[in-house]
Amino acid sequence: MSRARPVRWLCLAVAVSAIAVAVWQGVVWFDHGRDNRLIRAALTHQAVEIGPDESLAVLFAQGYGETRLDRFRQAGAAYQTVWIRTDGGRHDDPEGWAARSRYNLGNLYARRAVAAAETFDVDGARTLAELAKQAYRDALRAWPDYWQAKHNFEAAQRLVRDLPQHEGEPEEGEKPAEDVWSQMPGFPRGLP
């Protein structure tokens, strides 16, 4: 009789542990299913409320979906939330979401810089290219071996270097600077 009691307690402890693990796995499965539904909704542009407390994958997908719709402000906000929640990749980021969000943010700025340069908005293009470079630097700080960020950082540096310089007002005795549009490669659009 005394020997049966410890066996019963052991069986009860195993059963309780198995139930606890099953409940925990059910919660994890439910959370993953919910995240997958939100990611699918963000990528297919369905109207779903995604708050800043969602998982990093959901926020990243929201930023990507907003970028595809050319909603740059909302995309930037989603990527910024990922960056803040991971403390710049230093806190709880085993999948590298911080670096990836900064890389995508840099791509967003770089595309807008090229578009600004094509419309001869040199100052806007320079500012956006500098923002792109900073985003790529942040991505490389969070993940130093991120080859795509290294490549795009160098491309953004070339973009800034290739833009014409805007000197501002000439000093006395100096020849005034040429018009900025005349320094852009290709044929000018419209009148000077």
Residue 162 has pLDDT above 80, yes or no: no
> How much is the mean pLDDT over the chain?
80
Burial group, residue 65, by CB count within 10 angstroms (0-12, 13-18, 19+): buried
Q: What does each C-alpha distance from 75 to 2, 79, 84, 97 come to in angstroms?
A: 67, 6, 14, 14
Give dist(CA 49, CA 75) in Å, integer: 14
Residue 120 has pLDDT above 80, yes or no: yes
- Identify residue 128 by its one-letter amino acid code: L
Give dist(CA 60, CA 135) in Å, integer: 15
What does the pLDDT read at residue 146?
92
Mean pLDDT of 83-101: 83
Residue 107 has pLDDT above 70, yes or no: yes
Residue 90 has pLDDT above 90, yes or no: no
Which domains does the chain possess?
A: 70-164 (1.25.40)
Cβ 57 vs Cβ 32: under 8 Å: no
Residue 103 has pLDDT above 90, yes or no: yes
